[in-house]
Amino acid sequence: MKIQEAVTFEGDLNRDFLGEIRTRSGCHEIDLCIQCGTCSSACPCAAFMDYTPRKIISMIKNGFKEETLKSYTPWLCASCYSCQVRCPSEIKITDVMYAVKRMAVEEKVFPARFSIPSMDKAMHEILTTFGRSSEVWLMLNMALKTRKPMPLLKMIPLGIGLMKTGRMSIKLETIKQRKQLRRLLKAVKEEENND
Amino acid sequence: MIDYVYYPGCSVKSSAKHYEESILPVFRELGVNLKEIEDWNCCGATATPSVDKSKTSALNGRILALAEKEGEVLLAPCAACYLSLKKSHLFLTGGSKDAQKILDALKKQGLEYKGGIQVKHPLEILTREIGLKKIKDRVMRRLTGLRVASYYGCQIVRPYADFDDPENPIIMDDVMAALGAEPVDYSAKTRCCGGALTANIDAVGIELNYLLLKEAKRKQTDVFVTLCPLCLFNLEISQNKVIKEYKQDLHTPVLFFSQLMGLAFGLSKESMGFQRSLIPLDAMWKKIESGENNE
C-alpha cells in the first residue's frame, strides 16, 4: 500500500518565502498579522477565491510558497484596498497581493490561461512598447495568451455599442517618444540587476 | 484663469470620452484651465504593478517628471491614474535605494523628477479651491427632484483618503446638492465594482454589480454619478447580465459627475456627451423636466 501525503510536512515549506514577500512588497507589517480575518470579511471578492486573504497571509508567513504562487486569490484581488484600510495591524495587504502576483509571473507558476494574468501581461507588453493602451489590441493580445477566443467573440456586441457611441476605436495608440521610453525601461532593469 | 496640469489617462480618450468632454468645459466655466501634459504615457493602473514594479514606477515617474516641467499640481480625473501617480510619487520621494535607481534612470533620459508634484483629483479642486458656493452661483438649471446616487468606488478614497473618508465620502454628494439635485443616501458608495475583473469574469461582475444596482434601486435612484471611468464602464456593461440573472428591473443610467454639472450650468446635452450613455436616459430627462415644472 502506498501512503499518500495528505499534509504538508514542515520540511517541505519554504523558509525564505516570507522574507522575499516582505522585501518585494515593502510591507514589514506582515509580521504583525493576528489572523483576525478582518481582511477576508472586508474583501468583496473573497467568495470567489480559493484561499481567503487571511489564509494567504498565514500561508506566506508559514512558507507555503508553491500553494500561494499557484493560487487564484491574488489574481482575484480587484485592488479595492478595503482590507488594507481596515487591517488593525496596518498590513498593506493589496501590496502583498501585488508582490505575490509579480513573483508568480517571474517564476512562471501563475494560472497561465486565466484571463486576469493574461490581461495584466498583455497590458504590460503594450505599455512598455507603445506607452499607451489600445483596447482592441489589448483584447487580441489577451485572446492569444489565454488561447480562448470565446470571451473575445462575446465582447463583439459590446464593442459595437461602444463604437456607435464613439467610445472605442481600433487605432493603435502610441506616444511620440517611444525610443526614450525604451531606453528608460532598459536602464531601470540594468540598475535593478546591479545589486 | 488659473492653470492646472492635467493628466487625462487612456480611458478619458476612449471609453470615458464623455468624462473629458464634460470636465474641461465645466472647469473653464469656473475659471480653471486644464493643460494636458505633452506626450504623456499610460500609468499601468492595476495591470503593470502585477507584473513589474520598477517598470511601473518608471512609467509613472516619466509622467510626474513631464508634469513637473509644467507646474506643481497635477489633476488626474481617473481614479486608477490618481492612485497610481500618487503611489509612485510617494515611492519615488520616499528616499529608498530602489527609488533612487529609478530617479537616476529617469534623469539620464532628461526626465529629472525633484518630487515637487501634488497629485490631486478634480473634485478636490472643485470643493476645496473653487468652493461649493461658486458652483451654486453658476447653476442656471437646477436639477430639482433628481435623485442622484454618488458612487465613489475604491481607489479615489483608498488607501490614502487624502480629501475624504475612506468608507463614507461625501464630496460628490455635496457637489450634487449644490446643483439642486437630491443626493441619495447610498450605502454602497465605496463598494467595489470589480475593477478589471468585471469585464473578464462574469460571476464576479454580476455579483458585485448586483449589489450596487439593487441598493440604488432600493433608494429610488434616478441616476448614478461616478468619478471613475472603470466604475462607469462596469456599471453600464453588467446591467443586462445582472437583470437576466436576477430577473429584476434594475436599469439605472450612469453618468460622470461633471456631465450633470455641465447640464446644470446650462451647457448643451450633446457637448456634455450624454448621447454616449449605453443605458437609455429617457426616464432621467422626464424627471429633470418635471422637476423644472414644479419649481
**Residue A137 touches chain B, beta carbons under 8 Å:** no
CB-based contact A184 B109, cutoff 8 Å: yes
CB B47 within 8 A of CB A119: yes
Same domain, B160 and B286: yes
Whether the predicted pLDDT of B253 surpasses 90: yes
Q: Do B42 and A101 touch (CB under 8 A)?
A: no
Nearest to B9 by CA among B36, B47, B48, B33: B36
Chain A residue with minimum CA distance to B42:
A132
Taking CA–CA distances from B201, the nearest residue in chain A reads: A115
ipTM of the complex: 0.96
**Could you tell me the pTM of the whole model?**
0.96
| Set of chain A residues whose Cβ sits within 8 Å of the Cβ of B45 | 123
- What is the four-CA torsion angle of B55, A132, B69, B36, rounded to 10 degrees? -150
Mean pLDDT of chain B: 97
Task: Give the count of Cβ contacts less than 8 A between chain A and B.
Answer: 173
Residue B207 C-beta-side C-alpha neighbours within 13 Å: 11
DSSP string, A23-79: HHHT-GGGGG-----HHHHH-TTGGG-SS-HHHHHHHHHTT-HHHHHH-SGGGG---
Pair B64, B137 in one domain: no
Domains identified in chain B, total number: 2
How far apart, in Å, do the first and last CA atoms of chain B sit? 33
Mutation for testing the A interface, residue in B41, B157, B209 having most A CBs under 10 Å = B41
Same domain membership, residue B185 and residue B251: yes
Q: Answer yes or no: is pLDDT of B50 > 90.
A: yes
Residue A19 CB burial class (10 angstroms; 0-12, 13-18, ≥19): exposed
Query: Which of B95, B122, B149 represents a domain boundary (last residue)?
Result: B122
For residues B156 and B93, state if they share a domain: no
Regarding whether A155 and A76 lie in a shared domain, the answer is no
Instruction: Test B52 with A181 for CB contact under 8 angstroms.
Output: no
Q: B228, B244, B161, B156: which is closest to B196 by C-alpha? A: B228
Residue A46 shares a structural domain with residue A97: yes
Q: Å from A1 to nearest chain B CA? A: 42
- Tell me: pLDDT of A5 over 90: no
**Amino acid type, B173:** D
Give domain status of residue B127, yes or no: no
Q: How far apart are CA A112 and CA B101, in angstroms?
A: 31
Chain B CB contacts of A173 under 8 Å are 10, 13
Residues B165, B260 within the same domain: yes
By CB atoms closer than 10 A (0-12, 13-18, 19+), residue A136 is middle
Check whether residue B41 and residue B185 sit in a common domain.
no
- The residue count for chain A: 195
A63 neighbors A17 (Cβ within 8 angstroms) = yes
What is the pLDDT, as a whole number, of residue B25?
Answer: 98
Same domain, B95 and B211: no
Confidence check: pLDDT of A53 > 90: yes
* Shared domain check, A97 and A183: no
CA distance A160 to chain B (A): 11
B42 contacts A80? CB cut-off 8 A: no
Chain B nearest-CA distance from A12, in A, is 27
Which of chain B's residues have a Cβ under 8 Å away from the Cβ of A156? none
Q: What average pLDDT does this structure show over A59-77?
A: 97
Q: What is the pLDDT of residue B74?
A: 98
CATH number at A72 reads 1.10.1060.10
Domain count, chain A: 2
How many CA atoms lie less than 13 Å away from A177 in the CB half-sphere?
Answer: 17
Selected residue with higher pLDDT from A112 and B93: B93
B171 and B86 housed in the same domain: no
Domain annotation covers residue B92: yes
Same domain, A58 and A129: no
Give the mean pLDDT of A117-125: 96
Nearest to A84 among B159, B207, B275 (CB): B159
A105–chain B Cβ distance below 8 A for any pair = yes
Judged by average pLDDT, the poorest of A25-29, A43-47, A112-116, B209-213 is A112-116
Interface test with A, best of B51, B55, B82, B154 (most A CBs within 10 A): B51
Q: In DSSP terms, which residues pair with B256 in a beta bridge?
A: B226
A195 — pLDDT class (breaks 50, 70, 90):
low
Contact B78, B155 (CB under 8 A): no
Of B52, B105, B208, the CB nearest to A184: B105
The pairing of strands B32-36 and B2-6 is parallel
Per-residue pLDDT, B232: 98
Tell me how far apart the alpha carbons of residues A97 and A27 are, in angstroms, rounded to a whole number.
Answer: 11
Query: How sure is the predictor about A45, in pLDDT bands with cuts at 50, 70 and 90?
Result: very high
My answer on whether B84 and B219 are in the same domain is no
Domain end, chosen from B90, B122, B154, is at B122
**Is the same domain home to A33 and A82?**
yes
From B252's Cα to the closest Cα of chain A, the distance in A is 17
| pLDDT beyond 90 at A3 | no
Exposed/middle/buried for residue A157 (C-beta within 10 Å: 0-12, 13-18, 19+): exposed
Classify residue A75: in a domain, yes or no: yes
Helix, strand and coil in chain A, % to nearest 5: 60, 0, 40
Amino acid at residue number A195: D
- pLDDT attached to residue A158: 93
Min distance A6 CA to chain B CA atoms (Å): 31
For residue A8, the model assigns a pLDDT of 79
Among chain B residues, the shortest Cα distance to A115 is held by B200
For all residues of chain A together, what is the average pLDDT? Answer: 94
| B142 and B118 co-located in one domain | no
Q: Is residue A99 part of a domain?
A: yes
State yes or no: pLDDT of A1 exceeds 70. no
pLDDT at B13 over 70: yes
pLDDT exceeds cutoff 90 at B170: yes
Mark yes or no for CB contact A124/B48 under 8 Å: yes
Is B279 inside any structural domain? yes
B210 and B238 in a common domain: yes
Same domain as A157, residue A75: no
| A102 and A128 both lie in a single domain | no
The residue among B68, B98, B122 that closes a domain is: B122
Question: Containing domain of residue B212, as a range?
Answer: 132-294
In a shared domain, residues A16 and A101: yes
Residue A152 pLDDT level (bands cut at 50, 70, 90): confident
Which residues in chain B have their CB less than 8 angstroms from residue A161's CB?
278
Indicate whether A62 and A125 sit together in one domain. Answer: no
pLDDT at residue number A112? 84
- Measure CB to CB from residue B105 to each of A74, A155, A187 and give the nearest one: A187
Provide mean pLDDT across the span B22-43.
98
**Which cell numbers hold the place of A116?**
486576469
Q: How many CB atoms lie within 10 A of CB B181?
A: 25
Whether A181 and B62 lie within 8 Å, measured CB to CB: yes
Measured in degrees and rounded to the nearest 5, phi and psi for residue B120 equal -135, 160
Query: Is residue A123 less than 8 Å (CB to CB) from chain B?
Result: yes
Looking at the fold, whether B182 and B288 belong to one and the same domain comes out as: yes
Task: For chain B, give the number of residues.
Answer: 295
* Boundary (domain end) residue, out of A84, A106, A128: A106
Q: Give me the CATH number covering residue B171.
A: 3.40.50.11810
Q: Quick check: is A7 in a domain?
A: no
User: Residue B155 falls within a domain, yes or no?
Assistant: yes
Q: Which residues of B touch A167 (CB under 8 A)?
A: 14-17, 276
Are both A91 and A121 inside the same structural domain? no
- Provide the terminal-to-terminal Cα distance of chain A, rounded to the nearest Å: 51
Whether the pLDDT of residue A6 is over 80: the answer is no
Q: Which domain holds residue A176?
A: 115-193
Of A115, A131, A177, which is closest to B200 when you measure between CB atoms? A115
Q: Please report whether residue A3 resides in a domain.
A: no
Let me know whether A124 and A80 are in one domain. no
Q: What is the CATH number of the domain that holds B93?
A: 1.20.1050.140
A28–chain B Cβ distance below 8 A for any pair: no
